[in-house]
Amino acid sequence: MNDWSLSGDSGQPARDGVPNLLKYALGLAPRTSAALGLPGGGSTLLTGKRYLTLSFTDLSALTDISYEVQVSSDLQNWQAGSLYTVRTDNGTTSTATYRDLTAFGEVPRRFMRLRVTRP
């Protein structure tokens, strides 16, 4: 019998806090602790302003999931789409990098996250 608490999309057989769906989307092994390969935050300087960035493995060949980069100023309300973020890599590698369109200092705090869903 399948145990969906371990093998389902939200299961965490490695007990590392990273659900199976996210590991699948990032090409990580479900039963191995995910210390490496998770989305990474950073920043970039553009025209004298610093912006938050988020990089992650984008497996575009996977047609059964969707990636969405979201931004927030309060960890409660999240926004996504071209009004809030822009993809800054050239799209020729499996590493996607997104930049927040709100510069540091324009709001007191800023956060980014990756949301993975099944369409």
Rounded distance between C-alpha atoms, residue 114 and residue 54, angstroms: 8
Over its length of 119 residues, how does the chain's per-residue pLDDT go in tens digits? 467 667 788 888 888 889 999 999 999 988 888 778 999 999 999 999 999 999 999 998 899 999 999 999 999 999 999 999 999 998 777 899 999 999 999 999 999 999 999 98
Give residue limits of the domains in the chain.
1-32, 39-119
Rounded distance between C-alpha atoms, residue 95 and residue 115, angstroms: 16
